[in-house]
Structure 1
């Protein structure tokens, strides 16, 4: 299935640094090549990630923010924002919904990518509790919060942020995907983005082999020709 028509602005909301690069960096590279301005919003700084416990949380958070900014540049994303919520302790609270709605009203995206709030029992690893919580908070921020002038009234009253309706959302990491962008031509950019996360991925070559296999299987599932690579999403019309 081809990538949809080009939009001016897209917002990717994820739980941790590297989530976007695993889940959608190839598709993001296609969009930025086509002229879409993409913003990344990371709910946490990823300070609980990795097996190296010699660094403190603040040092790890600083490192992972820097890695994410480099990874974003590799796929043409120049606007990366962080909410600084505690890694591993995210909940779909009203406060998180408000903070995501704030960014939606500022960026005014025509398309969003978020983690699926549904657990996929056939492939458990994408269903990290932080991912599920961010997915739930983000879809609630899309509908009804960001478009409703009476939701989080301080956003309009105190910050002058007018309501905004996001027309479409692409879910990643969940069950029943129905959109499979062909990312074969931008796979090198996806790998460059992932390789920027040195604190989490010590052996990018080994990751590349496994990732090619996974994306090849996804492409085959979508009916793409042999040798192609694809990412997977579930499309939601949110107009």
Structure 2
């Protein structure tokens, strides 16, 4: 068993409002229950997630929903205010991301995997991974470097559907976190994003916003004999931390169950 970090700050940098609630909110709840400081950040403002409102109106609605969802667990919501479908790995977004990391100084980071169904997700992956590596360099941002700043543990959430969109193969995670006891609160966080029910029904042809989230966590749970599970892949590149912090915190060393 390795020593646990003394600085306990978790950050999600995901593409859109509601991504954290769908992909990793159960784990965030467990971290909050263990005394961690939680920050939920999005790169985009959600201004295309509607068939009813103007860009400005839906962005205001989705910011309020993001704040409300984070508040359910005492977390802080941040948005880099990029438009939907326009997230890019550019000098401007890199600067915004580095400034966010300098302000938060995360110990533990969650983001999208390298391969996902939407380009906004894949570009967010690059921004998060780059900032995790570089925010501690003194000249990377004009903001002060907080005491305890260091390269964080980095985990990739499941891609949508848990499959690699380029191969169609199910992603094999490194770490499972049992979120059975947190599912009700996770559903309450996701329900804060009420504007997305109508959007997904109109654009995606689905009316199962919360049920689809629960079904995915149940599918991952069956792999390890638990009711509801969130799955992650740990980044192990140089010079990131190499031991599985989530597994040590929450007993994530599981044996997969044969189908």
Shorter-chain TM-score category?
0.7 to 0.9
Find the partner of 1:195 among 191, 197, 216.
Answer: 191
Displacement of 1:214 after TM fit?
A: 1.9
Displacement of 1:108 after TM fit?
A: 1.2
Relative to structure 1, is the Cα distance of residues 33 and 5 closer, same or farther in structure 2, using a 3 angstrom cutoff? farther
- After TM superposition, list the pairs within 5 Å mapping 1:1-239 onto structure 2: 8-50=8-50, 52-53=51-52, 55-74=53-72, 76-119=73-116, 127-143=117-133, 145-150=134-139, 152=140, 155-156=141-142, 159-161=143-145, 164-174=149-159, 175-202=171-198, 206-221=208-223, 223-225=224-226, 228-237=227-236, 238-239=240-241
Secondary structure of 1:180's counterpart equals strand
For normalisation by structure 2, the TM-score amounts to: 0.76
Residues paired across the two proteins, number = 217
Could you list the per-position Cα deviations for residues 117-176 of structure 1 after superposition, in whole angstroms to 9, with x for gaps in the alignment? 223xxxxxxx21111101111101111x212234x3xx24xx334693223111113433
Does structure 2 conserve the Cα–Cα contact (< 8 Å) formed by 1:170 and 1:233? yes
Does structure 2 conserve the Cα–Cα contact (< 8 Å) formed by 1:6 and 1:35? no
Relative to structure 1, is the Cα distance of residues 207 and 189 closer, same or farther in structure 2, using a 3 angstrom cutoff? same
Relative to structure 1, is the Cα distance of residues 66 and 14 closer, same or farther in structure 2, using a 3 angstrom cutoff? same
Partners of 1:64 and 1:26 in 2: how far apart?
21
For normalisation by structure 1, the TM-score amounts to: 0.82
Displacement of 1:205 after TM fit?
A: 8.6
- Higher RCO (CA-CA < 8 Å; seq separation 6+): 1
Partners of 2:137 and 2:5 in 1: how far apart?
27
Partners of 1:72 and 1:160 in 2: how far apart?
25
Any stretches of 5+ residues in structure 2 without a counterpart? 160-170, 242-259
Moved over 6 A (4+): none
Alignment partner, residue 122 of structure 1:
none
Does structure 2 conserve the Cα–Cα contact (< 8 Å) formed by 1:194 and 1:201? no
Provide the aligned C-alpha RMSD in A: 2.3
Which deviates the most, 211-220 or 8-17? 211-220
Displacement of 1:6 after TM fit?
A: 8.6
